[in-house]
Amino acid sequence: MRLPGILTSLIASLCLVGCSSTSGVDALDMGKPSNEITSSVVRPSAPVASASASASASAKAKPMIARGAPEQASMAGPARPFGLAEEETVALASAGMPDSGDASIEPAALVSPPKLLSRAAPSMLAGPVTRYAFRDAKPINFGRSSPRHLAVHGVDVSRWQGDVNWQKLRAQGANFAYIKATDGGDHLDPMFMKNWRGAEAAGLKRGAYHFFYWCRTAGEQADWFIRNVPRMEGALPPVIDVEWNGESTCKHRPSREKVLEKMQVFMDKLERHYGQRPIIYTAPDFYRDNLQGAFLDYPFWLRAVAQHPSKVYPGRKWLFWQYSGSGLSHGVTGRIDLNVFHGDERQWRDWAGGRQTIAAAD
């Protein structure tokens, strides 16, 4: 005779389980990320700790990265770097300009201050400039336009450079370093924080860059970068790396209008957070397709490993020139990207000390 009572209790229990299960699914749906997923790596299985806005807190905080098999699998991927163009792909025609690579190069006056400036404490100003001493596995004769004629050289690094000896890299002539931080909206370079701290300890001015992913929303990517890159006094402005990447499974190539819109959303969000106008890094083919005549009041970092930027990007003002992807240094096993600042030592100190402006085109 107790069977109806038992059945009633069982039915009631099932109803309660069904209700709680439904609410749990709703909660997961409310918090799940966009369907646009960075395909370069597996989504981290653990959250990344938010970076503190203060320098002292940032020094203590260590972002968490994905652990276990997923991260090991991503580290075992192809040796080719993801982000910061590996090879020159196309040159833009420059009317009336010879191809001999002998355009003269002179330190350019820095003009057009951005709306927001970064003010660095005296202790964070650029230290003494270390002279160029890098070698190159594939040296290019730039003639009179050689980057050697400019005073302030630097590097960019990611996990692909492995364990960097920053003291040796500094002694070889690296005065600044741009360090890979993030790409897309879910990948943190596992070497970012170690490189970030190591570069500072060795006396290099350092900044962080983000590889932009065209299959993810700009707002999500900006939030991810902000979540992982400390806002620290004296750091160089953040960089948005925009290029077409044939290695990615995301083959989407938005229209020029959409590209510019997404970039603007991302850069506006970073500028509000860091108080510095972001720098745009790009390569020739992407520039040809999207950026000619655009973002005239933004600083550019241009890749040109076969010719001077004035020939590859005619008329474009630039702040940094990536002139080699095959640099050699005692501080790194293998090759490293080499870059140069468009100005002399005084202009470097002014710019790195917070009076950040955009260099003129040659």
Q: Which of 86, 200, 220, 243 is catalytic?
A: 243
Element (H, E) at 15: helix 3-31
pLDDT in tens, the chain (362 residues): 444 554 455 444 444 444 433 333 233 233 333 344 443 333 333 333 333 333 334 333 333 333 233 333 333 333 444 556 543 334 444 433 334 444 444 444 343 333 333 343 343 455 789 998 999 999 999 999 999 999 999 999 999 999 999 999 999 999 999 999 999 999 999 999 999 999 999 999 999 999 999 999 999 999 999 999 999 999 999 999 999 987 777 888 999 999 999 999 999 999 999 999 999 999 999 999 999 999 999 999 999 999 999 999 999 999 999 999 999 998 899 999 999 999 999 999 999 987 555 566 66
Contact between residue 99 and residue 142 where contact means Cβ atoms under 8 Å apart: no
Q: What are phi and psi of 65, to 5 degrees?
A: -125, 170
Sign of CA dihedral 221, 227, 231, 232: negative
The whole model's pTM is what? 0.71
In terms of Cα–Cα distance, which of 316, 351, 270 is closest to 94? Answer: 316
The three-class DSSP label of residue 166 is: helix
pLDDT of residue 253: 93
pLDDT of residue 246: 77
Instruction: Name the CATH superfamily for 105-359.
Output: Glycosidases (3.20.20.80)
What is 21-47 written as a DSSP string?
HHHHHHHHHHH---S----SSPPPSSP
Q: Which residue spans within the chain are E strands per DSSP?
A: 110-111, 135-136, 153-157, 176-183, 187-188, 205-211, 239-242, 279-282, 300-303, 320-328, 336-341, 358-359
Place of tokens 């005549």: 293
Place of tokens 């960075």: 38
User: What are the extents of the domains in the chain?
Assistant: 105-359
Pure H helices in the chain: 3-31, 55-60, 69-75, 166-172, 192-201, 218-228, 256-274, 284-286, 309-312, 345-352
261 is annotated as an active-site residue: no
Contact between residue 227 and residue 256 where contact means Cβ atoms under 8 Å apart: no
pLDDT of residue 266: 98
Question: How far is Cα 351 from Cα 344, in angstroms, rounded to an integer?
Answer: 11
Q: Which two tokens stand for residue 258?
A: 């959409």
pLDDT of residue 18: 42
For residue 305, which amino acid is it? V
